[in-house]
Amino acid sequence: MNQANMTPEKELRCLEKLVGLNMLEKMLCSFSKSTGLKAILVDTRGNTLVSTDHEIKDCSFCRKIRSDSSGMRKCQRSYAQACTEAAKYGEPYIFRCHAGLIMWSAPIVLNEYVFSIICGQVLMWEPEDYFLEEIEEMVKGLNVDVSAVKWAAAQLEVMSSDKVQAASDLLFIVANQIMKSGMIVLEQRRNITAQQARLAEEIQARKRSEVAMRTIESRAFSINSLDKEHELKSLVRNGKKRAAHQVLENLLVDIIEINSEQIDTVKTRVVELVVIISRAAVDGGADLSVILQQNSLFYLELLKITKTEEICLWARGMLETFMNQDINKDQKNILAIQKAAEYIQKNFRNKLTIEDISQVVYLSPCYVSRIFKQSLGCTLMEYLTHVRIEEAKTMLKDPKYNVMQVAEESGFEDPAYFTRVFKKIEGITPSRFKQYAL
């Protein structure tokens, strides 16, 4: 809905959802107490939405001007213009109101909504005769006591330019804090909306698929969920975040599709996922005591959630927390060794160096060589040679390959070197091995 078409009541409800009126009032009151200045929150039409009247009243001068409906409308127009100008430049806007008082406006922009905090009601100089004469001209047409207005003007607080600027800077800090709180809520809503769109799309896609044989589908569904849970556990253990998030969302679709109207059942199934993910995190090297403590906090948080979409977003954050846990050094070494071994098994036909392998596991060549030797009892190059020899043995059993082809295909550039290495490991030459194998 366009803000220009919203009533002040609807704008207040919007603020309540984004920031919370209690927090707004508390921040404005704290500002007023610390500066001695009245603060209000207005919209782009100059309507006052939140005020600190209960802490600091309008000055006597402003009360007399506002006592007339025409004066009130002029104040409202001043506020509307100040709100617009502050939002346009994105910084505090110091201005003179229609009655000549110095005031400040700090913008608050929340998505498509624009508001402003306004405070002031001071002068930057002692009231001079010309100012008092201007008051006579200003109040013409207003049903007010001119003498009383002049007297009230003479009582106005005078602030130096330094204090005016300091108060303006402080007001901007308050406005920024309010915007930050509101944007956090907006971001969470956008995340929930985006995730729900993905989940809804997946649910709709499944509804368009075959629906026959319900009993068989139900059994297959359970088996499929178990497979996904096993896959999720493996992905968490190996630190594969993106793939783990995808599998988790697929599981959430499974859970919602069956239990969409039973939030307690949804929570129970999500608790099972918490157990699976936390155990996988421990298997991946996370500290058990930290994980147990985090689990306790997660269960308390989950109990307070009342909407299915919020459970889904919470589950995503839960997975992220577990996968961001630090793993211990020994476990890191094991993972590095596994990754190095897998890289060798996939690339043994290429010319590999220790530097190539160390780059894959993000460790120094010396360090990865040492932990590999300590763990497997052989060096990286020895492991590479054994992998190549095992591949060569498989190929030698195939009649269509000769010894030279086997040497080349298994990663040995020199057939003579291949023969020497093969005999050293297997005790016979490749040619003799091929004869026996065939």
Per-position b or e across 138-164, b if 16+ CB within 10 A of its CB: bbeebebeeeebbebbeebeebeeeeb
- Statement: residue 419 has pLDDT above 90: yes
* pLDDT for position 412: 92
pLDDT per residue over 195-204, tens digit each?
Answer: 777 777 777 7
Of 61, 210, 265, nearest in space to 145 by CA: 61
- Statement: residue 417 has pLDDT above 70: yes
* pLDDT for position 418: 92
Side chain identity at 131, as an amino acid letter? F
Q: How confident is the model at residue 405 (pLDDT cuts 50, 70, 90)?
A: very high
* pLDDT for position 345: 92
Q: How confident is the model at residue 347 (pLDDT cuts 50, 70, 90)?
A: very high
- Statement: residue 411 has pLDDT above 70: yes
The region, left, alpha or beta by phi > 0 then psi within -120 to 50, assigned to residue 362 is left
Question: For residues 434 and 406, what is the distance between their CA atoms, to the nearest angstrom?
Answer: 11
- Statement: residue 145 has pLDDT above 60: yes
Question: For residues 101 and 245, what is the distance between their CA atoms, to the nearest angstrom?
Answer: 57
How does DSSP assign 155-178, residue by residue?
T--B--HHHHHHHHHHHHHHHHHH
CB contact set of 51 (below 8 Å; sequence gap of 6+): 28, 38, 39, 40, 41
pLDDT average, residue stretch 144-166: 77
SS3 33: helix
User: What is the biggest distance separating any 2 CA atoms in the chain, rounded to whole angstroms?
Assistant: 123
Question: For residues 18 and 186, what is the distance between their CA atoms, to the nearest angstrom?
Answer: 7
Of residues 419 and 193, more confidence is placed in 419
pLDDT per residue over 304-335, tens digit each?
Answer: 888 888 888 888 888 888 888 765 556 667 77
Question: For residues 164 and 400, what is the distance between their CA atoms, to the nearest angstrom?
Answer: 91
Looking at every residue in the chain, the average pLDDT score rounds to: 80
pTM, entire model:
0.41
CB contact set of 109 (below 8 Å; sequence gap of 6+): 87, 90, 115, 179
- Statement: residue 176 has pLDDT above 80: no
* pLDDT for position 220: 43
* pLDDT for position 217: 45
pLDDT average, residue stretch 387-405: 91
Per-position b or e across 28-53, b if 16+ CB within 10 A of its CB: bbebbeebebbbbbbbbbbbebbbbe
Question: For residues 69 and 76, what is the distance between their CA atoms, to the nearest angstrom?
Answer: 11
CA 362 from centroid of its chain's CA atoms: 27
H-type helices in 208-262, by residue range?
Answer: 214-237, 241-259
Question: For residues 48 and 34, what is the distance between their CA atoms, to the nearest angstrom?
Answer: 21
pLDDT per residue over 229-243, tens digit each?
Answer: 888 887 887 778 888
Identify the residue whose tokens are 């009243």.
57
Strand bridging mode 39-43 / 93-96 = unpaired
SS3 238: coil
Identify the residue whose tokens are 């589950």.
315
